[in-house]
Each structure stands twice: as structure tokens, then as C-alpha cells.
């Protein structure tokens, strides 16, 4: 059961502001402000705007925590507060934390490498390691709330936080935890990261029009737009949630995961690995494909990836693929890498709860190979019984999660 959600995204600093921005079709892409991008071939991204870490941590902590960890702590605070558990976890030994991150403290890494090269080893920060390592977000959240259950980070590129939520789901239903604080965080908009993704031709190069650059399923798409942020949910067993009188927001139904075993960056042909993850998720949740009303696509706006995912959905869901909405909120948020799966899981739940599906913006000319209804440039108001969220990472990591609104 989902009892709390927290979001820090390129279009909002909490759940409500993010959700309203998504429904309004608000683009999160803009010129980069975190560093001077004048030498970069890509000079825009989906940065988090208006985030104040001092709402969640003190000045000393802000100096010692990389931005990705600050996002994780902020999102965790929101989720834990909504769940009514702030400082009131019934059994710390039975509550765990899994926070995924594809990269970890990248700005910390760059800054300390620069200090090392220019000024020598004595100038490397003693906090470098605990600021940089991807698992520190999970560690900090567990320390903040005194949670002594299962605790680790998932690192599987763009599937990282989807794995985190799926693993947490399994830990609860297998009786190894009663509750989990889980999700992902990323702060990878740095000079080195942008250069790396740009040089491998993974990013959009539309510097003249950042707000229209992320265009999943559009014929003119040319790559993804890098995004920052954090997304955390609180999961509990039904018994645990009911015993403490929690407000249950939704139910995790299924978890599917697979490997392409194909290529370091390209998806398997016809989305073969994605097909298996989707099928596993449906089987795991005993879900009739005809009950799926919305799929939050991985939909990164890359030429190969969008086609492969479309083919996978059609292969698994058959005729139902043409009746549901298969949309990508990355058209607005950009790609949050390791945090994307958790954000999109939360969006999938919100769509099911509210009966409204966010648009896929920047649809100018549909790609004939991406011929499913992505809710182009319009939100869709309709009941959503079951929503799926797809996350696929470099290296061939595939995850599908299923969620629905909770009706007692």
C-alpha cells in the first residue's frame, strides 16, 4: 500500500505543484544555470527551480550533502509527513529505506576532481566519499528517521528507482519489512555529465528552443533532455497501514524486471526485454491487460527507444494497447535518470486516483512507428483502473510497475 508521496521535480517542489504543472502541460526545460554552459554543445536542461534545502535540513547539512541527497531528504520528508509517520514509526527494525540513484553525487565528484588536479590531494574534501556515494541518500534517510530495517541503494541507470520501489514491494510482501521509504534522487546536471551524454548523441541539441526539445514519439525527436529531482513514496503492508489508521493512497499490484542482454545503450530489437518485464508485471499482479488504462512510458524522446517501447506494448497488450493512453511525462520533466522511475510511478498513481492523465507535450508530427495514443498536447479525463510505469536503463535493465487507486 502507498501511504505517502514526496516529489521535487523540474516542474514543482512538491506533489501538488508538480501534478498541476503536468496536467497543464508545463515544460520544465530551460537554459542551464547550474554552471556556465557556453562551451557545451547542449546548453539547456530540466533543472529544479525554487528548491530551498533549508526547509528540510540545516546549513551545516546543506554544505555536507550533495544536491541529490538533499532532493532525497526533501522528498522523503514530504512522503513521511503525508503518511503521518514523521517521528512515529511503530517499529524501526521493521521499516527500511531503499533510495536509487543512477550516478550519485556527480557535482561533488567533479568539484573534488578539479581540486585534486589543480591544487593537490590535500585539497580533496574529507566529506568527498560520503557525499558522492550513491547509497548515502538511503543512509541519510534512515538516520533521519531512525529506521533500522533493510537499507540499500539500487543502481541500474534509468531503472534505479523503479527497482527500489519493486524491491521494497517484495520485501514487504515476503514479510521482511512492514514499511519502506523508497524512491530515487538524481542531480546530474553538471558540465561533465552534459558533455558525456551530448558526445554520445543521447541528448537533444535544440538549444534555440529548449521548451520543445523533449518530444517523445514525435517524428522530429532527437534525444532526451537531462533532468534533476527526487521522488519518494512510503509503502506499507495493508495490515500495518490499517492498524495505525493510515490514509491509503494506492496499491502496488505487480513488479516485472528483466535484462535485454543485448547492448550497452540500445534497446533490444522490438523491445524484447521490455516485453518480458511488462508480461512479468501483469502476471505478478494477476492483471487482465484489458484493465490497464494508462501506461506512463519510459518515453525518453530517443529515436530507437520510443519505437522499441511502442512495439513492446503492442506485443504484450494486443488490442488494449490502442484503447489505453501510452504517454510520456518526460516531455515536461525531462529525464531524471535514476529518479525517473519513482517520479513516474507516483504520476501513474496520481492519474489513477484523480482520473486524469497528463499530456505528452511537444507533439508536432507523430512518428508512424509510434502509433499509440500518447495524449498529444492534451490531458485526458477518464477512469484509470490499473496504471503501468515503464523504466528502462542503459545496460539493458527493464522494470515495469503496476499501481492503482485504493478502494476499500
Same domain, 234 and 311: no
Is residue 407 over pLDDT 90? no
pLDDT for the residue 86: 79
pLDDT tens-digit readout, 113-154 = 999 999 999 999 999 999 999 999 999 999 999 999 999 999
Residue 337 lies in a domain: yes
pLDDT tens-digit readout, 318-359 = 999 999 999 999 999 999 999 999 999 999 999 999 999 999
Same domain, 226 and 264: no
Same domain, 222 and 276: no
pLDDT for the residue 59: 97
Residue 151 lies in a domain: yes
pLDDT tens-digit readout, 14-70 = 999 999 999 999 999 999 999 999 999 999 999 999 999 999 999 999 999 999 999
In percent, how much of the chain has pLDDT > 70?
100
pLDDT for the residue 89: 87
Is residue 87 over pLDDT 80? no
Residue 248 lies in a domain: no
Is residue 90 over pLDDT 90? no
Provide the CATH number for the domain around residue 91. 3.40.47.10
Of 163, 240, 335, 397, the active-site residue reads 335
Q: Residue 252 and residue 258: Cα distance in Å, rounded?
A: 19
pLDDT tens-digit readout, 239-285 = 999 999 999 999 999 999 999 999 999 999 999 999 999 999 999 99
Query: Which residues form the domain of 74?
Result: 2-243
Same domain, 102 and 182: yes
Same domain, 207 and 347: no
Average pLDDT over the chain, rounded to an integer: 97
Is residue 408 over pLDDT 80? no
Residue 249 lies in a domain: no
Residue 163 annotated as catalytic: no
Number of domains in the chain: 2
Tell me which of 196, 213, 243 is where a domain ends. Answer: 243
Is residue 101 over pLDDT 90? yes
pLDDT for the residue 274: 98
Residue 125 lies in a domain: yes
Same domain, 206 and 132: yes
Of 46, 298, 370, 397, the active-site residue reads 298
pLDDT for the residue 88: 80
Residue 158 annotated as catalytic: yes
Of the ranges 82-91, 214-223, 302-311, which one carries the lowest mean pLDDT score?
Answer: 82-91
Residue 240 annotated as catalytic: no
pLDDT for the residue 295: 98
Q: What value does the mean pLDDT take over residues 217-234?
A: 98
Is residue 107 over pLDDT 90? yes
Same domain, 193 and 338: no
pLDDT for the residue 37: 97
351 three-class SS = helix
Q: Which three cell numbers stand for residue 190?
A: 553538471
Amino acid at each position: 500500500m502507498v501511504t505517502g508521496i514526496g516529489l521535487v521535480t523540474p516542474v514543482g517542489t512538491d506533489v501538488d505543484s508538480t501534478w498541476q504543472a503536468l496536467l497543464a502541460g508545463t515544460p520544465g526545460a530551460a537554459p542551464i544555470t547550474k554552471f556556465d554552459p557556453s562551451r557545451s554543445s547542449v546548453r539547456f536542461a530540466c533543472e529544479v527551480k525554487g528548491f530551498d534545502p533549508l526547509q528540510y535540513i540545516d546549513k551545516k547539512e546543506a554544505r555536507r550533502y550533495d544536491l541529490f541527497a538533499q532532493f532525497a531528504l526533501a522528498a522523503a520528508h514530504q512522503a513521511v509527513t503525508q503518511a503521518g509517520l514523521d517521528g512515529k514509526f511503530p517499529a524501526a527494525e521493521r521499516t527500511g529505506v531503499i533510495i536509487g540513484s543512477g550516478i550519485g553525487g556527480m557535482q561533488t565528484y567533479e568539484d573534488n576532481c578539479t581540486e585534486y588536479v589543480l591544487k593537490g590531494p590535500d585539497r580533496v574534501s574529507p566529506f568527498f566519499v560520503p557525499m558522492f556515494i550513491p547509497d548515502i541518500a538511503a543512509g541519510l534517510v534512515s538516520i533521519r528517521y531512525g529506521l533500522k530495517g533493510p537499507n540499500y541503494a539500487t543502481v541500474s541507470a534509468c531503472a534505479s528507482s523503479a527497482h527500489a520501489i519493486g524491491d521494497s514491494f517484495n520485501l514487504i510482501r515476503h514479510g521482511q519489512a512492514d514499511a519502506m521509504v523508497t524512491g530515487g534522487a538524481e542531480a546530474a546536471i553538471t558540465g561533465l555529465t552534459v558533455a558525456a551524454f551530448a558526445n554520445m548523441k543521447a541528448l537533444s541539441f535544440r538549444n534555440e528552443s529548449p521548451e520543445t526539445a523533449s518530444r517523445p514519439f514525435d517524428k522530429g525527436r532527437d534525444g532526451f533532455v537531462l533532468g534533476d529531482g527526487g521522488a519518494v513514496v512510503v509503502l506499507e503492508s495493508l495490515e500495518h497501514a490499517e492498524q495505525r489508521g493510515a490514509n491509503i493512497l494506492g496499491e502496488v499490484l505487480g513488479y516485472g524486471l528483466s535484462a535485454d542482454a543485448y547492448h550497452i545503450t540500445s534497446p533490444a530489437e522490438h523491445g524484447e526485454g521490455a516485453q518480458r518485464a511488462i508480461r512479468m508485471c501483469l502476471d505478478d499482479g494477476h492483471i487482465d491487460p484489458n484493465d490497464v488504462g494508462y501506461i506512463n512510458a519510459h518515453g525518453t524522446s530517443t529515436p530507437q527507444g520510443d519505437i522499441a517501447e511502442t512495439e513492446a506494448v503492442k506485443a504484450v497488450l494486443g488490442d488494449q494497447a490502442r484503447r489505453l493512453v501510452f504517454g510520456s511525462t518526460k516531455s515536461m520533466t525531462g529525464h531524471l535518470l535514476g529518479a525517473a522511475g519513482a517520479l513516474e510511478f507516483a504520476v501513474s498513481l496520481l492519474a489513477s486516483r484523480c482520473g486524469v492523465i497528463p499530456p505528452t507535450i511537444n507533439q508536432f508530427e507523430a512518428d508512424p512507428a509510434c502509433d499509440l495514443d500518447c495524449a498529444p498536447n492534451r490531458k485526458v479525463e477518464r477512469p484509470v483502473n490499473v496504471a503501468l510505469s515503464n523504466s528502462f536503463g542503459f545496460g539493458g535493465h527493464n522494470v515495469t510497475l503496476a499501481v492503482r487507486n485504493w478502494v476499500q
